[in-house]
Amino acid sequence: MLSFEHRYATLPEPLWVASQATPVAHPELIAFNAPLARELGAQDIPDAPTLAEWFSGNQLPPGAKPGALGYAGHQFGNFVPQLGDGRALLLGEVIDQHGKRRDVQLKGSGRTPFSRGGDGRSPLGPVLREYLVSEFMAAVGIPTTRALAAVTTGERVVRQLPEPGAVFTRVASSHIRAGTFQFIAARQDEAALKALADHVIERHYPGAASADDPYMALLEAVVARQAELVARWLSIGFIHGVMNTDNCSLAGETIDYGPCAFMEQFNPQKVYSSIDEGRRYAFANQPAIAQWNLARFAETLLPLIDGEGDALVEKATDAIRHFDPLFNAEQRRLHADKLGLEAESDQAEALMEGLESQMHQGRMDMTATFDALKQYVASPSDQRREDVLALTQNPEALGEWLTQWQAAQVASQNTDRLAAMQRANPVVIPRNHRVQEAIDAAVEGDFTPFHTLLAVVTKPFDDTVEARRLAAPATENEQVLRTFCGT
């Protein structure tokens, strides 16, 4: 079905270590992303039982050569020199219809040389969460890993309690992380470090190869992609939840949807992850954490970048400092789109700061607020204005902000800006309580809520009755305030 290549497997061990999946008792297909499979070059898609065998790890797809990837990482600020794929296997790479090389990886397929005593399995819940959220992110245009398949195993996985097991098939531009470079740097293997950097340049940043200092150009390119990515996260209220360096993709994609969540009532210090007790990865902290992660990546490249001593360190530091203007420029663009302003509006920043203050003080739902503003612009009326004011506990203050915003926004007179506003503000997100409802039902054997939610969040701008039902903010009794890592 897929034509596998294995370029990454030519890099020195232990960047890639051959390993086999552990068979499962009774695999059954939950979901298969046929459009993505065709994008990856698949022509003949086999039947569901065959897909279940392949994407559970029971049988290898033709041409697959499974291996676990080595990497290190700063986990909540603490460096661990060896982590690696403790429950994942890279099956290989495929060249998609656009000529782009992409990884295909199993998650939850059993122990590997990096398992560190773990069982290498995944509960069902994290598999469904990653499927839903990664496909939503793709649908709204945010760089992300993708979901190709989800399979139940017919076995129980013991975490706090026994849970149904599952295997997830993830597609990524690559699985190379800042932590991959830390893994080799900690071993002081400069030859392997150079081979890895050359591989990343060839695969993701070919323009850097012709630069006067290719490894400096690599650093600058990675900084630029991360700055844009995190700005886009904030624009839709996404909280990654576990922004360790081993989850910082050098391809500039969102990777690892463990304890992630989408902010509902706006609060810059919002945290959902049950393991982020110090609020390190709170919503508003994400840009600074991304910059911190990039600084750790820069440290690994110092042996390769031209220069020496303090001048070399300052050169790399300047590249990291450039994160801020790049992030701010992308955020200004996104703010203008979300508020229906001119793309280069000098009022976007102040108006967004004012709105965020109103959302925080008025306990307003972020997605519902921007959706209501979008509807107000598309069809101005007193009722639409009242719909916006109904979202806050401080309608008088919000009314003053609305007056300022209406004086500045141009989308109601400019169809291009209205279209940009509509593309920036989805009707529906994978709300935490809806994702949990789908997981809870699936644990009991009912996958209908999962498929219903998936159909809606993969068309997040469609204004349908079902989308409106699933877009409704959680009631007080429905709120999900904690999300959990699936390890």
- Catalytic positions, written as ranges: 246
Phi, psi torsion values for 114, nearest 5 degrees: -105, 15
Calculate helix-pair angle for 395-408, 348-361, nearest 10 degrees: 160
Distance CA 69, CA 71 (A): 7
* Residue 384: strand, helix, or coil: helix
Distance CA 430, CA 45 (A): 28
Task: Please measure the distance between the N-terminal and C-terminal CA atoms of the chain and give it in whole angstroms.
Answer: 30
165 token code pair: 């097991």
Answer positive or negative: Cα dihedral of 339, 344, 345, 351: positive
Q: Which residues contact 242 (CB under 8 A, 6 or more apart)?
A: 256, 258, 259, 260, 273, 275, 276, 281, 485
Distant-in-sequence contacts of 140-144, Cβ < 8 A, 24+ apart: 140/236, 140/426, 140/460, 141/232, 141/423, 142/229, 142/232, 142/233, 142/236, 142/238, 142/254, 143/225, 143/229, 143/232, 143/251, 143/252, 143/253, 143/254, 144/253, 144/254, 144/255
DSSP state of 51: H
190 token code pair: 């400069």
Distance CA 390, CA 373 (A): 12
Q: Which contiguous run of DSSP H or E holds residue 240?
A: none
DSSP state of 15: S
Say if CB 232 and CB 330 are below 8 A apart.
Answer: yes
